[in-house]
Amino acid sequence: MRLIEYEAALNYMKRYLLQNLKELDIVSAQIYGSSTYEEGFIPGVSDIDICVFTPQMYTMEYKDIVDYIVKSSNEDFIDKKPSIVVDYIANRIEFYINHPQIPIDVTIMAPELPNSNNMEETVAHDSVDIFLGAFYQHGIPLIGEIPQKELVQSKFFPFYGEELRKIRLNMLIPRIEKYHKRIEVLIEQKNFDILDHIYKARMYFLKSLFIWKRQYPVNLQKHLYYQLAKILNLPQEEIKKLLFVGDKDLFKLASNYLQVANNYLDKYKKC
């Protein structure tokens, strides 16, 4: 397994989290992302992603946590010093550590499943499906077990209930169709602004495709071949069109994407 090659960096991180940051009372740290599966990891390019869970995110001011991390560390944070992120995904603190063996991307969060109470409202923006796949299916413990493991597995595995699944799909599909109409117009116009729209549309479509097939993604923007081939088991011809593979112009590739995506949307509507 590839992570064995980075044992020194992982042992260093474990000591750093438990000793240097001991006042954070860290209950869990999970390795996730490309380093947890061979197909997604590129030596010399990829880093190791670690999510750290602490109940201090409930009680301490985020600024105080950031100050504590900076004061307790003698680290090269590269270009990402400890910073607060508050958005619709989850409240968190993020920073890099430039270990000599490999860069490590650290996220600190409260020990809970982000946005799990809003899954009927934030489907276009939430990261619950990715969180479930990246952590609860593919994650590797560095410290302790992932929080609420038994509760989450009983509620969300092998997939969440059919009623919630339909609600999320029915909310997501109109957004996808709106983007697809824009793409059709931009194809006719030969407008190169299409590039931004096709990537956004594909991200939303892939989210709906994973939900439709009752599978959790690892990421909706990276490591797509691995996920489409190994998790969703799509035909190679569909994969090529969804990944914009081919020697044709941008607008033909966009048309190829629409063909596959709209075909799946039509199938769902007929169910």
Domain range spanning residue 13? Answer: 2-156
Same domain, 239 and 199: yes
Same domain, 152 and 169: no
φ/ψ of 26, rounded to 5, equals -65, 125
Pick the last residue of a domain from 118, 139, 156.
156
For residue 30, give the CATH number of its domain: 3.30.460.10
What's the pLDDT at 166? Answer: 95
SS (H, E, C) 118-177: HCCCCCCCCCHHHHHHHHHHCCEEEECCCCCHHHHHHHHCCCCCHHHHHHHHHHHHHHHH
Same domain, 214 and 196: yes
| pLDDT tens track for 202-223 | 999 999 999 999 999 988 998 8
What's the pLDDT at 121? Answer: 85
pLDDT of residue 58 exceeding 60, the answer is: yes
Q: Provide mean pLDDT across the span 68-85.
A: 89
Same domain, 118 and 233: no
Same domain, 12 and 95: yes
Same domain, 259 and 174: yes
Pick the last residue of a domain from 156, 175, 199.
156
Q: How far is CA 194 from CA 63, 219, 255, 264, in A?
A: 40, 22, 11, 21
Terminal-to-terminal C-alpha distance of the chain = 41
Same domain, 68 and 152: yes
> Which of 141, 140, 134, 270 is CA-nearest to residue 210?
134
How far does Cα 174 stand from its chain's mean position?
22
> Of all residues in the chain, what percent carry a pLDDT higher than 70?
99
Give the best-scoring range by mean pLDDT among 86-90, 153-157, 174-178: 174-178
Same domain, 87 and 11: yes
| pLDDT tens track for 114-137 | 777 788 888 888 989 999 998 998
- In whole angstroms, give the CA distance from residue 75 to residue 63: 18
- In whole angstroms, give the CA distance from residue 35 to residue 114: 22
pLDDT of residue 1 exceeding 60, the answer is: no
Q: What is the pTM of this model?
A: 0.89
Region class of 246: left (phi > 0), else alpha (psi between -120 and 50), else beta: left
What is the domain count for the chain? 2
For residue 177, give both structure tokens: 């169709």
- In whole angstroms, give the CA distance from residue 46 to residue 117: 32
Structure-token match 């590269």, residue found: 78
Q: Provide mean pLDDT across the span 89-99.
A: 92
Same domain, 14 and 43: yes
pLDDT of residue 241 exceeding 90, the answer is: yes
Same domain, 189 and 204: yes
Q: Provide mean pLDDT across the span 139-153.
A: 91
Same domain, 76 and 182: no
Same domain, 112 and 174: no
Amino acid at 81: K
Contact 29, 54 (CB under 8 A): no
For residue 257, give the CATH number of its domain: 1.20.120
CA atoms within 13 A on the CB side of 160: 21
Among the ranges given (1-10, 129-138, 183-192, 201-210), the one the predictor scored with the smallest mean pLDDT = 1-10
What's the pLDDT at 49? Answer: 94
pLDDT of residue 260 exceeding 90, the answer is: yes
- In whole angstroms, give the CA distance from residue 168 to residue 216: 14
Pick the last residue of a domain from 124, 156, 188.
156
What's the pLDDT at 192? Answer: 92
